Amino acid sequence: MRPEVTLPRFLDLADPATPAGKALIAIAIRGEASAADLVADTGMSRSSVSGLLTELRGSGAVLDVLRAQKGVGRPTLVHALNPALGVLAGILLGLGEIRVILCDAARQALAAEHVLLKVGYSPQDAVAISTEVLTRLTATLGLTPRELVGVGLAVSAPISREGTVLYGGIFPTWNGTRIGPLFAAALGCPVHVDNESHCGALYEMSFGAAKGESDFVMFKFDLGTGGAIVMDGKIRRGANGFGGELGHLTIDPRGALCRCGNRGCLDTYTGGNQLIAEAARTLGHALSLSEFVAEARAGHLGHRRLIEDAGEYAGIGLAMMGSSLNPPMFLITGGLALAGELFLAPMRASYDRHTLCRPSLLPEAQRTRFLTGTSPATDNVLGAVVLVLRQEMRVG
C-alpha cells in the first residue's frame, strides 16, 4: 500500500554538501550500511554518524534492518533506504525477452518480471508490454509508472550518442528508432537508454566485480556475444556507437553468416544461441543456456566439448584486444562464464596462444588479470537501473 505520510524524495535529501546527504548517499552506494561502514565512508566520527542516523530514521528516510550473519554470529544492525524515497526501474529489451526490475535507490529489488517473446518483436510491442508490466508492478507498491524516478533501458543493439538504435543489433527492424522518447511518452517519466553490454559494464564498474577499475575490456558471453571497452573510467562508445561490439570481431572471413550480415564473427562461434542449437540437434530436444551449462557441469561430454571450443574462440577474440589495447584486466561475464573453468581455462590458454602480449611470458605482477562478473545474468538490467541512479540521483 502507498504510505499515508508523504516522505521527502531521495534527491531532496541526498545533497553531498550536507552531512545527512553524505550519509544517505553512502547508504545508497553500499545498498545497506552499518554505522561502522558510514564512519569509514564519510570520515565522520562515530557520534556524528549516530546522530545523523537518528535524524534520518526520524524523517523516515532510513530504515533499520537486522541482518543475519553467516555462521553462528548474532544478527547485525544495518541501515537501508526507505524504498518509498523513490523507486527506479530497469528494463532489458533482449533477444526474445523483456526483463523488468523495480529497485529502490539502494538497488534493493522491490519487484521483477521476465517475459519471453518471439524474436523480432517490434518497438511498439516492447513499449506496450513494458508499460503493462510496469503498471502492474508499480501498483503493488501503490505507485504508477509516472511516479518512478526514472526508467533505464538496456537494449541488445548498438545505441548512438543520441539514443538511436543502430543496425547490427538483434533488432534489424528497429534500425533508426529513437527508443527513449517512445518509452517516455508512454510512461510519463524520465527514460535513459544504452546498449545492453554497456549497461552491464556500468553495473560491474559501479557496484560489481570491476568496482574501482578504470581500464578493462569486458566480454559478455551469453545467448549473444557482446562487450565493452573501458578506458580512463569511461565506457567507450566510439564515433558511431559501435564501441565494444566485440561479438563482431572477424574470426574467419569465410565463416558462417552472422546476424549482422558479415561472416565468421566471434558470435557465430561463441554465441549461446548457436551452442544450444547444436546441443539440441544432437539431443533431439531444445534446452536453455542455463540447462546446457548445468548439464555440462554435471559431466555431459558433448556439451563440454562445445563449451571448450567456444572458450578457444573466445580466447582469440580476447587476443585481438590484447594485441591492440593490451588492457590490464579482462572482465568475463554472461551465462557461459557460469560454466567456470570448463569455459575459462580453454579461453585463457587460447588467449596466451594468440596474443602478442602473452601473460605466460610476462612477470607475474604484470600479467593481464581475468575477473568474472558478479551478476552475469542480470548485470544488464541492473546497469539500466544505474543509468537512472547516475542521471537522476547522483549515485553510482
Q: Rounded to the nearest whole angstrom, what is the least distance from the CB of residue 18 to a second copy in the complex? A: 34
Distances in Å between the alpha carbon of 214 and those of 135, 148, 202, 206, 237? 38, 31, 11, 11, 15
Q: Rounded to the nearest whole angstrom, what is the least distance from the CB of residue 95 to a second copy in the complex? A: 16
Interface map 226-255 toward a second copy (x if CB under 8 A): -x-x-xx---xxxxxxxxxxx-xxx-xx--
Total of chain residues touching a second copy, rule CB under 8 A? 47
**φ, ψ at 103 (rounded to 5°):** -135, 160
SS3 category, 255: coil
Q: Which is nearer to a second copy, 49 or 209 (CB)?
A: 209
**Beta pairing class for 329-333 and 369-372:** parallel
Q: Rounded to the nearest whole angstrom, what is the least distance from the CB of residue 31 to a second copy in the complex? A: 31
Using CB under 8 A, which residues numbered 307 to 326 contact a second copy?
Answer: 316, 319-326
Distances in Å between the alpha carbon of 161 and those of 147, 150, 214, 392? 27, 19, 21, 18
Q: Which is nearer to a second copy, 130 or 195 (CB)?
A: 195
Q: Which is nearer to a second copy, 286 or 356 (CB)?
A: 356
Identified binder of a second copy from the candidate list 328, 370, 372, 374, rule CB under 8 A: 328
Q: Which is nearer to a second copy, 240 or 288 (CB)?
A: 240
Q: Which is nearer to a second copy, 368 or 378 (CB)?
A: 368
SS3 category, 92: strand
For residue 326, the tally of other CB atoms under 10 A from its CB is 13
Residue 359 backbone zone (phi > 0: left; psi -120 to 50: alpha; other: beta): alpha
Q: Which is nearer to a second copy, 2 or 254 (CB)?
A: 254
Identified binder of a second copy from the candidate list 9, 57, 178, 354, rule CB under 8 A: 354
Length of the chain, in residues: 396
Q: Which is nearer to a second copy, 82 or 197 (CB)?
A: 197
Q: Rounded to the nearest whole angstrom, what is the least distance from the CB of residue 321 to a second copy in the complex? A: 7
Amino acid 299 reads G
Residue given cell 502492474 in the structure block = 136
Cα dihedral 295, 298, 302, 305 sign: positive
Amino acid 179 reads I
Joined grid coordinates for residue 56:
534520518
Q: Rounded to the nearest whole angstrom, what is the least distance from the CB of residue 230 to a second copy in the complex? A: 12
Does residue 168 touch a second copy according to CB under 8 A? yes
Q: Given the rule CB under 8 A, which residues bind a second copy?
A: 158, 167-168, 215, 227, 229, 231-232, 236-246, 248-250, 252-253, 260, 262, 265, 316, 319-328, 353-357, 361-362, 366, 368
